[in-house]
Structure 1
Amino acid sequence: MPAKLSVNLNAVAMLRNRRDLPWPSVTGLGRIALAAGAHGLTVHPRPDERHTRFSDLAEIRALIDDEFPQAEFNVEGYPTEEFLRLVEKHQPDQVTLVPDDPAQATSDHGWDFIGQASFLKPIVARLKKGGFRVSLFADPDPAQVPAARDTGTDRIELYTGPYGSYHSDSEKARKELEKLGETADAALAAGLAVNAGHDLVVANLPALVKRIPGLTEVSIGHGLTADALEYGMSATTRRFLAACGWPA
């Protein structure tokens, strides 16, 4: 089965937040993406709410429950107590933990699983006890995979930023892709499912899903939203699904 597509709505929310107005509608564009075949929606509610607002979560949860019950809700963020209570309140299907500083513009690295195991293990246990699937943001480094597995997580999400950044240098992109592939191979062998995300676009998705045939899910926001400005959200969602290998 091809990798599922979760549409990250943070870039939509950031555009909305430029004005004290309700458009573009985060839930409205999420509805269009799901109607076009997306398998889920992702948000990253940062403490300052500069992108997704805390109030968006209840609306997205209701959208999925009422209109697209087969879809999944993925909430990502740094695991402060406030964040953990937020996900426990809104009950996403998946919680993706990222090692972000609150001031970061965007996620730009994975966890140091070896060095931060004692921090992550009780958090993962708390979330899994609450019934959530847990995914941990990971750099392309096979040596970190055993420590990631030992946290108790269900999945890792490969940070694909370096791969995406070499969009105009095919040789560097190839080398980054192989790092991602080797890490995915190690994770799958260790019993972990593998997600991926960051700077993925229609042009670089096919090579990624070919190298990692066991890829479970991709979460895509910036590149997908940029394309939506040109093609519209519905057509863009279908373009990204096709790039993942889904039939038209």
Structure 2
Amino acid sequence: MPAKLSVNLNAVAMLRNRRDLPWPSVTGLGRIALAAGARGLTVHPRPDQRHIRFCDLPDIRALIDDEFADCEFNIEGFPTEAFLDLVDEHQPEQVTLVPDDPSQATSDHGWDFAGQGAFLAPIVGRLKKKGFRVSLFADPDPAQMEAAKALGADRIELYTGPYGACHDDSAKASIELERLGKTADAAASLGLGVNAGHDLTVANLPALARRIPALAEVSIGHGLTADALEHGMAQTVRRFVKACGGRDDG
């Protein structure tokens, strides 16, 4: 089964926040994305609310509940108490924990599962006890997967930034792709589901989908939003859904 596409709305929200105006509409474009075939919406509510605002979360939750009940809400972020309170309030189907410093422009590395396990384990346990699916942001490193599994999470989300950065170097892209593939193989052998995200595009997603056939979900924001400026959100989502199936004809 092809990986499910979850559309990250942060870039849409960042554009909206340039003015004190309600457009572009975060929920409006989320609705278009889901109607066009996306299977979920992702947000990363940072403490300074520089893109997704806390007040967006109930509207996105209601959109999914009222109009797309078979789709999912994924909230990602660093697990402060404030973040965990947002999760409790808005009840996403999936919580993705990322090791971001609040000052970071975007996520740029995965967890050190062995070194940060004592911090993560009780948080994962707390979320699991409340019924959330938990995914942990992970660097492409097969040796870390046993430590990730020991934390009790359901999935990892492979950080694909280095792979995306090779958009103009096919040889380096092949090396990064194999690192991702071997990490996914190690995770799957331990019973961990595999998600992926960061700088994925219509051009590089098909190869990833072919190398990791058990890929469960991809969360895509920047590249998808950039394409939507050219093709429109609905057509862009259809292009990315096709790419999730390993097809690279755009």
Question: TM-score normalized by structure 1?
Answer: 0.99
User: Number of matched residues?
Assistant: 248
RMSD: 1.1
Match of 1:84 in 2: 84
Give the distance between the partners of 2:130 and 2:17, measured in 1 at CA. Answer: 32
User: Equivalent residues in 2 for 1:73-222 (5 A)?
Assistant: 73-222=73-222
Contact in 1 for aligned 2:210/2:246 (Cα 8 Å): no
Letter in 1 for 2:107: S
Contact in 1 for aligned 2:40/2:73 (Cα 8 Å): yes
Q: CA offsets per residue over residues 193-248 of structure 1, 9 Å max, x none?
A: 00000000000000000000010000000000000000000000000000111899
Q: CA offsets per residue over residues 113-156 of structure 1, 9 Å max, x none?
A: 01000000000000011110000000000010000000100000
Contact in 1 for aligned 2:205/2:246 (Cα 8 Å): no
Question: TM-score normalized by structure 2?
Answer: 0.98
Give the distance between the partners of 2:125 and 2:77, measured in 1 at CA. Answer: 16
Q: CA offsets per residue over residues 30-76 of structure 1, 9 Å max, x none?
A: 00000001000000000000010000000000000000000000000
Letter in 2 for 1:70: D
Contact in 1 for aligned 2:46/2:102 (Cα 8 Å): yes
Match of 1:70 in 2: 70
Letter in 1 for 2:134: V
Letter in 2 for 1:216: A
Contact in 1 for aligned 2:206/2:244 (Cα 8 Å): yes
Give the distance between the partners of 2:205 and 2:35, measured in 1 at CA. Answer: 21
Q: CA offsets per residue over residues 148-199 of structure 1, 9 Å max, x none?
A: 0001000000000000000000000000000000000000000000000000
Match of 1:238 in 2: 238
Does residue 27 in structure 1 map to residue 27 in structure 2? yes
Contact in 1 for aligned 2:209/2:246 (Cα 8 Å): no
Give the distance between the partners of 1:86 and 1:72, measured in 2 at CA. Answer: 16
Match of 1:4 in 2: 4
In percent, how many aligned pairs have the same letter? 78
Match of 1:224 in 2: 224
SS for the counterpart of 1:54 is coil
Give the distance between the partners of 1:19 and 1:129, measured in 2 at CA. Answer: 40
In structure 2, the gaps of 5 or more residues are: none
